[in-house]
Amino acid sequence: MSYQNRNVAASFHPFELSESSAHLEALSSWREYPRIQQPTWPNEEERARVFDELRAAPPLVFAGEVDLLRTHLAKAARGEAFLLQGGDCAETFADSTADRIKNKVQTILQMAAILTYGASLPTIKMGRMAGQFAKPRSSDTETIDGVSLPSYRGDAVNGYEFTPESRVPDPSRLWKMYTTASQTLNLLRAFTGGGFADLRQVQAWNKGFVESDAYSKYVRVADDIERAVRFMEAIGVDFDPIRMVEFYSSHEALLLDYEEALARVDSRTGEIYGCSGHFLWIGERTRQIDGAHVHFMSQLRNPIGVKLGPNASVEDMLRLADVLDPEREAGRLTFVSRMGAANVREKLPVLLEAAKSEGIEAVWVTDPMHGNTITSSNGYKTRRFDDIMDEVRGFFEAHWEVGTVPAGLHMELTGDDVTEVLGGSGELDEEGLQHRYETLVDPRLNHSQSLELAFLVADMLGN
C-alpha cells in the first residue's frame, strides 16, 4: 500500500495515546444510547482487560491514509473515480491465510483493471478485509433439530461450531480480531507496495484461476493494457502511479467495544480517527438515528458508509446525513444502496431526488448482494447471479433517470472457486451449490463471477 500523496509521510508520527484524553473519554458515551447487535460478554472484567490491551496497541491505519481516501471518495461522488469494495461477508480467523488473502487481492485488482480500462476512470480499491469479523444477526438464537443455541456472531465474538461452549461470547476473540486484521493488513501492504500490484503484472493476476469465459475475456483486456504500458514505457512515461497501488481496508463497525478501543486522537489536529480500518460502515440493522452506532460513528473523522435497504425513507436518509455529515464535506458520507433487484428502480430514485434537492453529495454505491438473498430448494442460503446483475443495472438506471452519479460497487466475493451463488456463465445450479459451499454467513461471488460482474459494470460506466 503506497500512498502517492507526499503529505502522507507527515502523518506517520505517533498518535496521542493518553488515556486521560478528553476526546477519547467522550467517545464512550455510546454506552448510554440504545444499542443492538452487541454481544453479552459473560465476564465484564475480562472484557475490560481486553479493551485496555487494545487501547494500548498500535493503530492499524493512519490518519494521513484515511484523509487521502476521503479525497478519493470526494472524486467518486463527482464521477471522477469509481469505488470498488469487495471481500467476504464474514472473514474468519482460519481462512485468513496468505493464499486466500492473495486470491482476494488478485480478484479485486483484476476487477479494477477491467473497470479502469473499460471506463477510463481511476478505481479506488478497497477490501471488505482486515476487520470484517463480526456479523449482525436476524435472530439471537439458532435452532437445529430442536436444540437452540446463541447465534454465531462472527469469529470476533463466538465460534461457528454448534455447541454450547463454542457459542459463548469470548472477549479474547477481540484481541484475536486485532492480530488477524494486522496480519492481513501487513500482507495487503506487502502485496500492493511490493510490486505485485504493479500494472505490469496485469497478466500474472489471472494465473492459477480456472478458465472460464470471463477468464478469456480478461486475458484480452490484459493484453491491451500490457501493450499500452509497454508503449508508455517506450516513450519514457513516469511509472510511479502504476507501480504503487493504494489499497484500503474496510468493515462494518458493528462491535463498538472494539471500535472504541481502536480509536485514536491525531495529535496534529485533536480529531478522532477510527484506526481499525480506513473506511467504516453502519449496517442496515444498526442505522437507527438515535442509536449507539450512529452516535459513535458521528464522532470519527473517517469516511463513513451507511447501508440503505428498501425500507429506508427519505427522512431516514436526510437525518443520517445531518448527523453523520453536518458540514456536507465531500467524501465524508457514502450511502450503500441494497434495495434488491425488485425494488431498486422504484425506491432508489426517490432517495436520489431528495438528496439532490437537499444538496447532499454522498458517494452512492450499490450493494447488489444483500437485497437478493434466497434459500434454494435444497436448503442453501444463496443468490441468483442474474438478480445481482439486474440490481446493478437498476442502480445505474436510477442515477441516469435522476441525473446523479453512480459512484461505486460493494460486493461479497472471494478469489476462490466456491459454489455459493447460482448462475453466471458457469451456469451453477442448485445441485452444484453443494460442491464447494464454504461461507459461514452470506454467499459470495467466486472468481469468475466477480470478473463477469466487473465487465458488466465497465459497460454501464462506459455508457
* Residues binding ligand PEP (CB under 6 A): 89, 136, 252, 283-285, 307, 338, 370, 442
Q: Which stretch binds Mn ion (CB under 5 A): 188-196, 211-219, 289-297, 436-444?
A: 436-444
In whole angstroms, how close is the CB of 9 to Mn ion at the nearest point?
Answer: 36
Q: All 3 cell numbers of residue 335? A: 450511502
Measured from the CB atom, is 100 or 399 closer to Mn ion? 100
Per the CB < 8 A criterion, the answer to whether 150 and 141 are in contact is yes
129 interacts with Mn ion by CB under 5 A: no
Measured from the CB atom, is 89 or 105 closer to Mn ion? 89
Per the CB < 8 A criterion, the answer to whether 337 and 364 are in contact is yes
Three-class SS state of 20:
coil
Residue from the set 259, 284, 416, 442 that interacts with Mn ion by CB under 5 A: 442
Measured from the CB atom, is 293 or 384 closer to ligand PEP? 293
Measured from the CB atom, is 182 or 373 closer to ligand PEP? 373
Three-class SS state of 307:
strand
- Helix (H) / strand (E) containing 143: strand 141-144
User: Residue with CB nearest ligand PEP?
Assistant: 283
Measured from the CB atom, is 331 or 443 closer to ligand PEP? 443
Which entry of ligand PEP, Mn ion, none binds 173, CB below 5 to 8 A by partner kind?
A: none
Q: Where are the beta strands (DSSP E) in 291-358?
A: 304-308, 333-337
Residue from the set 50, 76, 84, 89 that interacts with Mn ion by CB under 5 A: 89
Per the CB < 8 A criterion, the answer to whether 308 and 283 are in contact is no
In whole angstroms, how close is the CB of 384 to Mn ion at the nearest point?
Answer: 16
319 CB-contact burial (10 Å; exposed 0-12 / middle 13-18 / buried 19+)? middle
In whole angstroms, how close is the CB of 317 to ligand PEP at the nearest point?
Answer: 15
Which entry of Mn ion, ligand PEP, none binds 287, CB below 5 to 8 A by partner kind?
A: none
Which entry of Mn ion, ligand PEP, none binds 391, CB below 5 to 8 A by partner kind?
A: none
In whole angstroms, how close is the CB of 358 to Mn ion at the nearest point?
Answer: 30
Per the CB < 8 A criterion, the answer to whether 415 and 107 are in contact is yes
In whole angstroms, how close is the CB of 29 to ligand PEP at the nearest point?
Answer: 24
Which entry of ligand PEP, Mn ion, none binds 293, CB below 5 to 8 A by partner kind?
A: none
Which entry of Mn ion, ligand PEP, none binds 104, CB below 5 to 8 A by partner kind?
A: none
Sign of CA dihedral 183, 186, 192, 196: negative
Q: All 3 cell numbers of residue 425? A: 456463465
Residue for grid cell 469469529: 155
Which entry of ligand PEP, Mn ion, none binds 310, CB below 5 to 8 A by partner kind?
A: none
Residue for grid cell 477491467: 114
Per the CB < 8 A criterion, the answer to whether 268 and 34 are in contact is no
In whole angstroms, how close is the CB of 284 to ligand PEP at the nearest point?
Answer: 4
Per the CB < 8 A criterion, the answer to whether 188 and 101 are in contact is yes
Pairwise CA distance, residues 7 & 9, whole Å: 5
The partner residues of 422 in beta bridges, in order of sequence, read 384
Measured from the CB atom, is 89 or 253 closer to Mn ion? 89
Three-class SS state of 323:
helix
Which entry of ligand PEP, Mn ion, none binds 136, CB below 5 to 8 A by partner kind?
A: ligand PEP
- Helix (H) / strand (E) containing 142: strand 141-144
Measured from the CB atom, is 252 or 391 closer to ligand PEP? 252
Return the closest-CA partner of residue 449 out of 386, 393, 407: 386
In whole angstroms, how close is the CB of 311 to ligand PEP at the nearest point?
Answer: 12
Q: All 3 cell numbers of residue 28? A: 464512550
Q: Which stretch binds Mn ion (CB under 5 A): 51-59, 85-93, 118-126, 229-237?
A: 85-93
Measured from the CB atom, is 63 or 441 closer to ligand PEP? 441
Pairwise CA distance, residues 110 & 104, whole Å: 10
The partner residues of 197 in beta bridges, in order of sequence, read none
In whole angstroms, how close is the CB of 115 to ligand PEP at the nearest point?
Answer: 21
In whole angstroms, how close is the CB of 41 to ligand PEP at the nearest point?
Answer: 21
Pairwise CA distance, residues 142 & 230, whole Å: 56
213 CB-contact burial (10 Å; exposed 0-12 / middle 13-18 / buried 19+)? middle
Distance from first CA to last CA of the chain, Å, rounded?
31
In whole angstroms, how close is the CB of 252 to ligand PEP at the nearest point?
Answer: 6
Measured from the CB atom, is 376 or 404 closer to Mn ion? 376
Measured from the CB atom, is 59 or 309 closer to ligand PEP? 309
Residues that bind Mn ion (CB under 5 A): 89, 442
